[in-house]
Amino acid sequence: MDKKLAQLKTMLAEIVDLGQAAAILGWDQQTYMPPGAAEARGNQQALLSRILQEWSTSPKLGKLLDQLKPYAESLDPDSDDARLIKVTARDFAKATCVPTEFVVEFTKVTSRANQAWVEARQKSDFSIFQPHLEKIVQLRQEYATFFPEVKHPYDALLDDFEPGMKTEEVKAIFNALRPLQVELIKAISARPQVDNTFLHQPFDEKKQWDFGVEVITKFGYDWHRGRQDHAPHPFTSNISIHDVRITTRVDPNFFNPMIFGTMHECGHALYDMGIAPRLDRTGLEGGASLAVHESQSRMWENLVGRSLPFWQHFYPRLQEIFPGQLGNVSLDKFYKGINRVQPSPIRVEADEATYNLHIMLRLEIEIAVIEGKLAVKELPEFWNTKTKEYLGVTPLNDAQGVLQDIHWALGAFGYFSTYALGNLVSAQLWEKINQDIPDLAEQIRAGKFEGLLGWLREKVHDHGRKFQPQELVQRVTGSKINAMPYMHYLQEKFEQIYGRD
């Protein structure tokens, strides 16, 4: 069996290499590729996706997995080899359900849609993007039919990002969470509002960028294996564990987007960079799921980056960089300002108390679209109506509304719920971390993040894709994903900021 296992690992290494080549093209498309190259890039990506699909569903790979199944059952179920065979078999079973021609078409359509979305967002004109999105929705609906065993068509899409998770589970979690968050927001709105006007003034873009670099360098971002670039919608590209690239955006008149976006993407990158080298080029080198990935980005962005101990360390440095803007703003005022709770139409700029409502809104819309109950042409108006219903605000235009996120242009229906699930997981992990590292706040206050990163490396990052998300969370925290630790975190934090009745 050693020989057959070696053959499997050789095949998987080549499949991973091919996927990483495609990832480079995707990164370039969103950073430096000229707009006129969209058609050619679509053809290039389609070719790679066809080859990747053919290799990932080859009869030789299927035969090897069948031969190795008894061997895997004889191993420690948590061993790397047992998990490699199990995860690969699951990937193979899913991939063989999807025709190669479909994969090629989907890649071409989303490549063109990406460029159309960029233009549509710049011009705040949904009509530019609408025909592309209609085709994507059609393809996503068709994709769900390849998995007739699912209870709901959305299950097939959700499973691509959150293995093993069902639509019913997510809706149950959100249904339990929504009234608690609404109650919290109402309680906060009854208290005097905190001031954050000092965040809305000119901040030199280069100085903002350099400060963000200082912060994530202290976090542990490895510049020997990464780089940071500009993008209209920040993202992280995991080319390999040795090449993890992040992007950010800088608003010259608002401080928050750059720093919190940079910390968010750094959180993703730290996860990818922390996966065990022994899993490299095995197919296990990715994250457990998008929710677990988001737990890392949201943890560094919010639980660390919006905390008082963090700014007790970094605020003097920020005042030194921007003395005219912040020299007379106290730490307490700054801390409260960056944590101001105020419903906004923009998801990526939402505060912690309202953020999950943005996700619940998108989940409702996506399910309705996939079920065929909501037409693409109806999306702008429906989006605005639901934003008003969920958040009490109405987007000023399409760019602030239905066009604000890139995900649908990428075909990523099923992705959004992972952001809110990631928030919940981050708080569950945070409770456990603080039990294991009692002086964590003091370490952060001193600008020391080695203890936190080391804990995450051992408990989460090292395992890559070996465990499904619910299993990993249970192993680390003792329970599956639940909302209460996150609600406790929010209630305690915002009672401190806004006071209580």
Share of the chain above pLDDT 90, in %: 96
Task: Grade residue 254 by pLDDT with cuts at 50, 70 and 90.
Answer: very high
State the amino acid at position 30 in one-letter form.
Q
Q: What is the per-residue burial (b if ≥16 Cβ within 10 Å, else e) of 464-486?
A: bbbbbbbebbeebbeeebbbebb
pLDDT of residue 349: 85
Which CATH code of 1.10.1370.30, 1.10.490.10, 3.90.1150.10, 1.10.3720.10 fits the domain covering 167-498?
A: 1.10.1370.30
What is the mean pLDDT of the segment spanning 469-489? 95
Strand pairing partners for 251?
254
Q: What is the average pLDDT value for the chain, to the nearest integer?
A: 96
CB 360 within 8 A of CB 391: no
What is the mean pLDDT of the segment spanning 163-179? 93
Choosing from 169, 265, 294, 301, the catalytic residue is 265
Q: Where are the domains of the chain?
A: 2-149, 167-498
pLDDT of residue 501: 60
d(CA 267, CA 285): 16
What is the DSSP code string of 105-134? HHHHHHHHHHHHHHHHHHHT-HHHHHHHHH
Task: Grade residue 348 by pLDDT with cuts at 50, 70 and 90.
Answer: confident
Q: Which residue has the tokens 């943890």?
A: 299
Is the pLDDT score of 1 beyond 80? no
- pLDDT tens digits, one per residue of 365-420: 999 999 999 999 999 999 999 999 999 999 999 999 999 999 999 999 999 999 99
Is the pLDDT score of 233 beyond 90? no
Burial class (CB in 10 A: 0-12, 13-18, 19+), 187: middle
d(CA 416, CA 470): 17
Say what angle helices 417-436 and 352-370 make with each other, to 10 degrees: 140
- Give residues with Cβ within 8 angstroms of 258, minimum separation 6: 208, 209, 212, 248, 249, 250, 251
pLDDT of residue 2: 86
Selection from 149, 57, 136, 160 nearest residue 99 by Cα: 57
Q: Which SS3 state, helix, strand or coil, does residue 96 take?
A: coil
CB 266 within 8 A of CB 223: no
CB 347 within 8 A of CB 355: yes
* Torsion 256-360-130-155 (CA) sign: positive
- pLDDT tens digits, one per residue of 65-114: 999 999 999 999 999 999 999 999 999 999 999 999 999 999 999 999 99
CB 342 within 8 A of CB 333: no
Share of the chain above pLDDT 70, in %: 100
- Whether 320 sits among the annotated catalytic residues: the reply is no
pLDDT of residue 499: 87
State the pTM of this model: 0.93
CB 129 within 8 A of CB 113: yes
List the structure tokens of 253: 């008149």
